[in-house]
Structure 1
Amino acid sequence: MRSSDRRAFLSIRAVYQPPRRSRYARGVRTSNASGSARQGDGFGGVECPPHPRERPPLSERTARIVHDIADIAADAWNRCATSGAANGTPYNPFLDHRFLRALEASGSVCTKTGWQPFHLALCEEAPASDPGARTAGPLEGQRVLGVVPMYLKSHSQGEYVFDSGWAHAWYRAGGEYYPKLQSSVPFTPATGRRLLAPDTPDRTEVEDQLLMATVQAAHQIDVSTLHFTFLPKAQWERAGKLGMLQRMDTQFHWENAGYGSFEAFLAALSSKKRKNIRRERREARANGIEIEWVTGGDLTEGHWDAFYEFYVDTGHRKWGTPYLNRRFFSLLNDTMPDETLLILARRDGRYIAGALNFIGSDALYGRNWGCIEDHRFLHFELCYYQAIDFAIQRGLERVEAGAQGPHKIARGYVPRATYSAHWVRDSGFRDAVRRFVNEERRHVEQDIEWLAEHAPFRKDIDLSRYRETVRIEGA
């Protein structure tokens, strides 16, 4: 680590507060600055030198771990996570306090399911002259400067960046891979910021301090690894410069070139692909199937009852046990109806299939799908084509239809790189993982280039915008 990075790392005094009856808190050492044991004081309690930049006395920053997102005020969290939309930072519904709170309040995300909340908040004491900034609860009297959604995990399920091979290798070498720290949105393979700070002049500095604080937390609770998954490229590059291992993968996104209608989009495709899509859409609607969009105040518990039946069916086929419980969808309906879209198929007066989507300021995010009747091409219609229709009508820039799926290329979706960053505690294991991810990145880059050549657009359409050249540094 460079000396300048080390100074930034040491500028944070982190505080750990173990949850009650948590079996993952074992081995955590808490002490105050004098070294005497006391719950609630620092990762070693080290008093660190100030950051090189001058600060007023009240600007001492502290990183605190919070085990229930409800203990961070929603306005304080969203000021870091979503308030930048007015200044050009797109709104991402998965980073919204309401979404993350629904995961926890429903019990879908908890210690029992292997996702113990371990959120990090970077704070400073709020001046008495600014009572509006003084957060209540465990962070009372603190101004929240930045946050990191993070979880202490006992498995690798629901992440979509696969490290089970790493876990097996470390186990065979005699190590314990779990628990590990994971900065992500549970069960959600969608790119979004993980180092969350308001759009202010010192945003970059705060993000760097958040990153350093997470590494310090990983050191102090003695986990084997720390993972940031589905990072935006800028945060991925910053993590790499600070020594984290950089990993890549591929998703397929539909991108809006200013189309005025679905037919305008089809006009950009090759004749063969155009005909295939029209045929698939016709066949999907055969047998009297009707399709509807439901969002906002039109969503009812009846819609969620129907969708949950579809979701459970898919979950049993793929994972054995669905990740999300029924209560999660009710909480979603209560708190985020305007950011939620259900695309439902009905036949003979009853719903038979559905796709759940979330609406951002610049993107539609497809998340879950299920059905109780099998109809040819109905999955493509609900998850891909209807999503494109909706995005065009709303003027959204893209549709992110989730993980995997080279078959999406033939339906107008193009390859895009996704990014993750990883800290590995053991130096020997870290070197082995570094060799793996460096080689993996080269293959991913080659795959993206090859897949882009098979984009379904007409030959007279400029395909350069559908390529993404990934520059690999330090490979």
Structure 2
Amino acid sequence: MALELRVINTIEAVDADAWDACAAGHPFVQHAFLKALETSGALGADRGVLPRHILLMDATHGLVACAPAMLKWGTLREYGPEVHWLRAGLDAGFFKWPKFQVGVPFFPVTGRKLLVRRGFAETPLRAALIKGLLQLGQRAEQQSVLNILHIDNATARLCQGQGALVAGERHSMWTNTGFNDWADYVAQLHKRKRYQLHKERRQAEAHGLAFRVLKSFELTDEILTDYYEGHRRVCERYGGTPWLPAPIYEAIARLMPLDALLMGYFDGARFVAGNLQLCAAAEQTLYILQASEMTKLDSMQLDLICYRPIEYALEHGIGKLDSGLVAKHKQHRGWQSAPVYHAHWFFNDELKALAQQHLN
């Protein structure tokens, strides 16, 4: 198959249906989500991230494979092992911005990154995407590395076969291993964890708030404004600031009306605490995003992050939950730790040797 490699600087330069035929229902690489990042101001030169999406076209100019890619520079807000070799490379003078990477900007979510249109052979086209990415990376003199972030084991093995140095980290996951419902799940917990669950649920419900699950199209401007403010307060509580601008959540709600939902506690119509989630129906997976809490309340976030998503998943036939980076409070409440991988190709031998010390 004769293939043409193209690079686009905005997701709007490619037909949404053609791109989504490759995305296979994964919400974070859908055309609408990438468009939400662009139109909300989350991406841009002032944000240190510029889209450089990769397209593979066949002889009829149809899209057969693609990858969400970007040029990134000026920030060490990285996930997992990347931050260590980045910092060392900058200090030693072996690494200079920008960094060429494939993944979802600002979201450390596991899933498809080398996307192939349904009905086409995946392995050769994913290999062709890697080859094209490497050619682009090597062609640009200022780029010293190519990363593909947050991939599964099969993709990591494919990348390793193409000369990548593979490293990993662990994320918090929950998988339904045969539970019929919430009561069935709670009954099988160790008595200590079962006691802890009941205690923390009582504490969360003692605040007298109503728990609700809202779809994207039910989210008003007022709720989204309060959600962002609550997220800002959570970040501030731990000495940080939000990574994303406020309009991103309105853009997700508007562009993805059936893919996003908000689990939260409300005082009447007023939002108090919750988290936004994206659903991958084809994968039966729910992805849990940033926590938000207008006022710190006992056990509220533990209930919203650790328990409510599992209960919702069991009620709606969702088999898997992904809450991103691993954390002890999740592991202590029934969540598992699962490996996630990153692939690296270094175009600078000195940087490669330095990175190997950290990645190994």
**Residue 180 of structure 2 corresponds to which residue in structure 1?**
260
Structure 1 residue identity aligned to 2:335: Y
Which structure 1 residue ranges, 5 or more long, are not aligned?
Answer: 1-54, 83-90, 127-141, 439-475
Moved over 3 A (4+): 155-159, 315-321
* Structure 1 match to 2:17: 75
Counterpart check, 1:94 vs 2:19:
no
Conserved 8 A contact 1:247-1:437: yes
Residues 333 and 402 (structure 1), Cα distance of their counterparts in 2 relative to 1, 3 Å cut:
same
Q: How does 1:57-136 map to 2 (within 5 A)?
A: 59=2, 61-82=3-24, 91-126=25-60
Please report the TM-score for the alignment, with normalisation by the length of structure 2: 0.94
CA contact (8 A) 1:159 1:188 kept: no
Q: CA deviation at 1:204?
A: 1.2
The size of the alignment, in residue pairs, is 357
**Does the 8 Å CA contact 1:281/1:377 hold for their aligned counterparts?**
yes
Is the 1:252–1:406 contact (alpha carbons within 8 Å) kept by the matching residues of 2?
no
Q: Does 1:399 align with 2:321?
A: yes
Confirm or deny: 8 A CA contact 1:252 1:408 kept in the other structure: yes
Report the CA distance between 1:233 and its aligned residue. 1.3
Q: Distance in 1 between matches of 2:40 and 2:299?
A: 33
Matches of residues 391-470 of structure 1 in structure 2 within 5 Å?
391-438=313-360
Paired residue for 1:333?
253
Post-superposition CA distance 1:407-444 (Å, at most 9, x none) = 21221101110111011111232133234323xxxxxx
SS of the equivalent of 1:345 reads strand
Letter in 1 for 2:231: Y
Note the residue ranges of structure 2 that are not aligned, 5 or more in a row. Answer: none
Candidates 194, 206, 212, aligned match of 1:274: 194
Q: What is the DSSP-based 3-state SS (H/G/I as helix, E as strand, rest coil) of the residue aligned with 1:411? A: coil
What letter corresponds to residue 322 of structure 2 in structure 1?
A: E
| Structure 1: distance between partners of 2:339 and 2:30 | 24
Asked if structure 1 preserves the Cα contact closer than 8 Å seen for 2:77 and 2:83, the reply is no
Residue in structure 2 matching 1:199, options 105, 112, 118:
118
User: Does the 8 A contact of 2:21 with 2:117 survive in 1?
Assistant: yes
> What RMSD, in angstroms, separates the aligned Cα atoms of the two structures?
1.8
Distance in 2 (alpha carbons) for counterparts of 1:251 and 1:320: 21
From 84, 89, 113, the equivalent of 1:165 is: 84
3-state DSSP class of the match of 1:79? helix
Tell me which amino acid in the other structure corresponds to 1:414: Q
Inter-partner Cα distance in structure 1 for 2:219 and 2:19: 26
Which piece of structure 1 moves more, 287-296 or 168-177?
Answer: 168-177
* Equivalent in 222, 225, 230 of residue 145 of structure 2: 225
Q: Is the 8 A contact 2:226 2:294 kept in 1?
A: no
Measured after TM superposition, the shift of residue 64 of structure 1 is 1.3
Counterparts of 1:295-444 in structure 2, within 5 Å, are 295-318=215-238, 320-347=240-267, 350-361=270-281, 362-438=284-360
Q: What secondary structure is seen at the aligned counterpart in 2 of 1:432?
A: helix
Alpha-carbon displacement from aligned partner over 1:147-190 (angstroms, at most 9, x marks no partner): 11011011345542342332232233233331111111112111
Q: TM-score, normalised by structure 1?
A: 0.72
Secondary structure class of the residue paired with 1:359: strand
